[in-house]
Structure 1
Amino acid sequence: MSDLKLTRRQSLVLGAGALFALGTRGAFSQDATTLTFWSVRLNTPELQAALLPILAQFEAEHPGIKVVNEPVSGNLVYPKFLTAVQGQLMPDVAEAYSYHPLQFAALGQMAEMDDLIKSWETSGRLKDVVNEFAYKKFFWNDHYWGVPYNLDPRAIYYRKDLLEAKGIKPPTNWDEFQAAAIALNDPANGVYGLSFPAGNFHITQHFFMGFMFQAGGSILDKDGNLVFGTTARDANIRALTYLTDFATKHKVTPEGIGSWDTPDAHTFFQQGRAAFGMGTGVLIGEIQRGNPDLIDKIGILETLQGPAAKLTAGFFNPMFVWNYSPAKEAAMTFVDWFTQPGRLEPLYAANPGGLWPIFKSEFDSELTRSQPLMQEMLAKVIPYTTDFAYPGTGVPEMGVIDGEKMFAAPVNEVVIGQKTPAQAIDDAQAKMAALWEE
């Protein structure tokens, strides 16, 4: 197999401009096929403990296939995959972060998954997917390069007791939310109106993305063209201004959020020091395990109605198969089996709120019914959650835009006083645009 010469676009999308040989990882033997399965979002001890019996069940039902699971630390995802491509050590199948399969499809490394999507359509599974962008995000160059298997939502949590004490109803739109955060700000008594992570971290851009959608902004248009700082510029500036004004103008956020990542925001909110707090679904499990007495005092806001839309951002994370795996057919069989509705309930139980199914038929589960915050997330956030590439489908460049935190930087730069919202948007647009240069 000949080396692949990378275009400038491919080099930027991959993040490494080098030539490499394509190798093999999976193997056939007389008696069994062995699949190497990299798990990225399932790498914690709790999730590994829940995953291994699922893999054992697959092997019991498919005695000709053995699955060797290799958990991958989230901090090592990008370098590990880059090294694997260059060193001929790609796994046969993997689950990972949002745009990985598109990045590697741009290099001819991913297997087409059109047949699997077609089978989902025939069986009715495709109609069961909660949002069509969950699978359309993987459609690029006339093919599907991955299939979704879980949802990772973002939400705004609030302290019911603090709102009730001041007779404030949970806000439902931008104006109400801003007014409530200002009214509830009481730093003299150690309570702030709002806490959110504004450091130069991935989580920062996740919340910014929600406000972008609500303002009518986006990164791509419906055809996959970059519009972040062009036709969507005004809406994106409006969203960035609205979000950062809480810190810079209204001053209802604690000092130091310009260096905050997810744990900082989660901890501060659980300490009762903020009336509103932006957090991931993982916060639900953290409250249940560490602060169960807080459950009755905490609610999740309905997705806010913005000037243009009632939408928010979340991740529909993929499974994908390496194009040069000698066990590609077995890998497709595994993906189809693994993603069947009802299959991953042990994983959801091991990480309540952190992992969500993508199939509507799975939402009415005993786990969801037994957890009030999960019921609220399901009713108030998940129906309005869409993908970062909305209103377009995915393009490989989105992997770099997301992975390099290109729209987290504007939030951080404005909060720490380095740039105005307009300057931050324009500078981020220039960096994004470079990815499309040939």
Structure 2
Amino acid sequence: MVKKSPLDPTGQGFRVNGSPSRRSVIKGVGAAAAVAPFALSAPAVLAADKTVRFLNAEPSVDSVRAMRFAAAQYEKETGIKVQMDSVPGGKAFEKLQASIQSGRPYDIATLSFVGDVLLLANEKKIVPLNSIISKYDWGPRILFPMQGDNYWYPYDYNLCWINYRKDLYAAKSLREPGNWDGMMGNLAALTGDGENQLRHGIVHPIGSNGAANYTAFGYMWANGVKLFDDDWNVVLDSPDILPKAAEYLDFMADLTQYMPPSPMQSDWANLVGDFQGGIISHTPGTGRLIDQMGLTMPEKAKQVSSFLFPSKDGKKFAVNHGYDGWVVLDTAMTDEALKFLEWFSDEHLINFLHSSPVHYQPTRLDIYEDPRWTSHPAFETFADILAMQKRVLNDPDVIIRSIDTEGPEPDVRAGKVFRSYALPEMIQDRVLNGTSATDSVRTAAEKIRKIIAA
């Protein structure tokens, strides 16, 4: 029997503060929400047949195969067809908006940004999933209820940590770093190592892009930096936080000596390709890298392990938060879409998660104890990483944070900061422009105040 639990076990509510206007919400989520402003008011059309239209934003071959297998099984059992359309994750919200504008909205869709969920819920384009959510026991910082209603079903944590080569560590008798000095020492030991054809230690994108937002700030969260207090006041440059943020920027400046040239131009492809090609010995990212390597270079994949972003003093560690989930839209097929999602959750979710088992870290706590989940071969090959994933959910010394979930509750203000790239620009001021760390922090804090006031 599946345990029941409160909808928000961490107390991190997700509400529409002051019922923001449609204009302010659309501005808040940035460019992705700029698709035809009248799109949100387009009328839904009646379903011409018994087909649930599902916008899937997990386009890998194995994930699509798992989804289509479930859809075929559901049609066989119920007579309801589930049409799967797959797009890259970064295109999902744009595609969903276009479907609403056309008058044929998808019935279920994948989203990866709580600002997009907020936009659609505020416009009453998606429906609550309370009856499904309440059936399960959820991990921390993953449900985002809005005024008591849960509008999305999160299926993976998508956390960002540091991947590294165990064989290279063993050859140099290195240990996983417990603080920034240890990190620097390991990078120095493995940089310019001609025997293993490695020339650099790590890559951290610092350009104004999503890769920097996602992979560059783990050390900052570990060091105790916050952007807002409980009243949405910017505290980045406060007496308590500024020194910690400045330490982080100086550390990032020191890290660049162990990075490939031009970190401003580094992006997602470098995080994966440079590591697979032996150009770097460490890379920030998720388990997706490991799952991909398991398919194309399985022996090298076995040499990959991971550790968390350490703080300067080693007292705290962090992972950068990420997540993916499904929403159900208000359409003529809503009832059928809800039935399918609940059936899929009970019958086929684990099979879907197995399509990328290290990357798709479960959000439901009951799955961790399900023998179907732990039967996957990855639990033997990558036992250390999968054990770490489970541990971080309840370890008081591990911080789970991200730019877009900063603040007392998920809100368009954090979304604005995320889309503005104010924090990558803070790194650029210190690393590229030679601005002092404290001045770079103060400049970023002022930018954030103007962004959230707009």
Distance in 1 (alpha carbons) for counterparts of 2:149 and 2:233: 18
Select which of 105, 116, 121 maps to 2:132. Answer: 116
Question: What RMSD over aligned residues (CA atoms) do the two structures have, in Å?
Answer: 3.3
Select which of 53, 63, 67 maps to 1:36. Answer: 53
Report what 2:5 is aligned to: none
Alpha carbons of 1:24 and 1:201: their partners in 2 closer, same or farther (altered >3 Å)? same
Distance in 1 (alpha carbons) for counterparts of 2:245 and 2:200: 26
Report what 1:51 is aligned to: 67
Distance in 2 (alpha carbons) for counterparts of 1:27 and 1:420: 60
Alpha carbons of 1:26 and 1:330: their partners in 2 closer, same or farther (altered >3 Å)? farther
Aligned length: 415
Alignment of 1:13-412 (within 5 A): 13-15=28-30, 16=34, 18-19=37-38, 22-25=41-44, 27-28=46-47, 33-40=50-57, 42-63=58-79, 65-99=80-114, 100-117=116-133, 119-120=134-135, 125-126=136-137, 129=138, 131-135=139-143, 138-186=144-192, 190-221=198-229, 227-228=235-236, 232-247=241-256, 251-302=257-308, 304=310, 307=313, 309-322=316-329, 324-340=330-346, 343-363=348-368, 365-367=374-376, 369-373=378-382, 375-384=383-392, 386-388=400-402, 389=405, 392-412=408-428
Unaligned ranges ≥5, structure 2:
1-18, 394-399
Unaligned ranges ≥5, structure 1:
none
Partner amino acid, structure 1, of 2:203: S
Distance in 1 (alpha carbons) for counterparts of 2:448 and 2:121: 19
Helix, strand or coil: the match of 1:139? coil
Report what 1:416 is aligned to: 432
Query: Percent identity among equivalent residues?
Result: 19
Alpha carbons of 1:355 and 1:173: their partners in 2 closer, same or farther (altered >3 Å)? same
Question: What do the CA deviations read for 1:295-332 (whole angstroms, capped 9, x no partner)?
Answer: 3433222553554632212312121122x323323222
How far has the Cα of 1:216 moved from its partner? 0.9
Partner amino acid, structure 1, of 2:52: L
Partner amino acid, structure 1, of 2:25: Q
Kept in 1: contact 2:40–2:101 (CA 8 A):
yes
TM-score (norm 2): 0.79
Kept in 2: contact 1:158–1:299 (CA 8 A):
yes
How far has the Cα of 1:108 moved from its partner? 3.5
Partner amino acid, structure 1, of 2:112: Y
TM-score (norm 1): 0.81
Distance in 1 (alpha carbons) for counterparts of 2:345 and 2:440: 40
Helix, strand or coil: the match of 2:83? strand
Distance in 1 (alpha carbons) for counterparts of 2:279 and 2:385: 22
Alpha carbons of 1:218 and 1:207: their partners in 2 closer, same or farther (altered >3 Å)? farther
Question: What do the CA deviations read for 1:57-90 (whole angstroms, capped 9, x no partner)?
Answer: 2333443x43222222334334334444545443
Helix, strand or coil: the match of 1:161? helix
Distance in 1 (alpha carbons) for counterparts of 2:231 and 2:104: 34
